Amino acid sequence: MRHSGLLRCCLLALLLVPVGCDDPAAPPETADESDLIFVRVAPDAPAVTDTVVSFWASKSETREVQIRYASEGYVGKCLRFTVPAGSLQGVEDSVKITVRLVSRELFSFQFEPAGLKFNQNNPARLEVRYRWADPDLNGDGATNQADEILANRFGFWRQERLGEKWIRVETHRSETELEATTPVAGFTRYALATN
């Protein structure tokens, strides 16, 4: 079933509430992969130009990389990953970073090299534009109140290694940009999901 642009905008407006841990001292929320609902890309979303992008991050200057959409109707970012000057840890001067779109159907990304760390007081930053998220979040073929409830909770989750539990992380959303952002202290897999 196709959804109108107005319906998509209304549902996406529900996704703009900041999410994350309410109490920083509380243990992080975790979930098995089977217990998460991953945000899917809408069927009418434009294709991305590249599913794998790389760049050289430097200790001395801010650098970034993007995965972008490209079509006649829309050109813009899907993902932006930024490493500020002074953020890299455990490397001499620079390191090659690779970001991989895990699936064209999900907002899920793998970061390499594994184990790379960033300064927690000056972390890297991940931004994902969810303008092309499928408003049928639970995938039941209808966009309704159940999807609205799920939309209120969706944010970034990270997984250290395949098969391990996913951990919910701090997420901020922008109403004007329709994007979610999170600070990144180390490398792993990140996805937009809800439980």
Per the structure, the complete domain to which residue 55 belongs is given by 5-194
Dump pLDDT digits (tens) for 159-182. 999 999 999 999 999 878 889 999
pLDDT category at 6 given cuts 50, 70, 90 is very low
Confidence of residue 40 (pLDDT cuts 50, 70, 90): very high
Counted domains in the chain: 1
- Give the per-residue pLDDT at 176: 83
CATH number at residue 112: 2.60.220
pTM, to two decimals: 0.85
pLDDT grade for 96, boundaries at 50, 70 and 90:
very high
Task: Give the C-alpha distances (Å, rounded to integers) separating 111 from 102, 148, 192.
Answer: 10, 30, 15
pLDDT in tens, 51-76: 999 999 999 999 999 999 987 777 78
Average pLDDT on 97-111 reads 96
Which stretch of DSSP H or E encloses residue 22?
none
Residues 33/169, Cβ–Cβ less than 8 Å: no
What is the predicted pLDDT for the residue at 23? 53
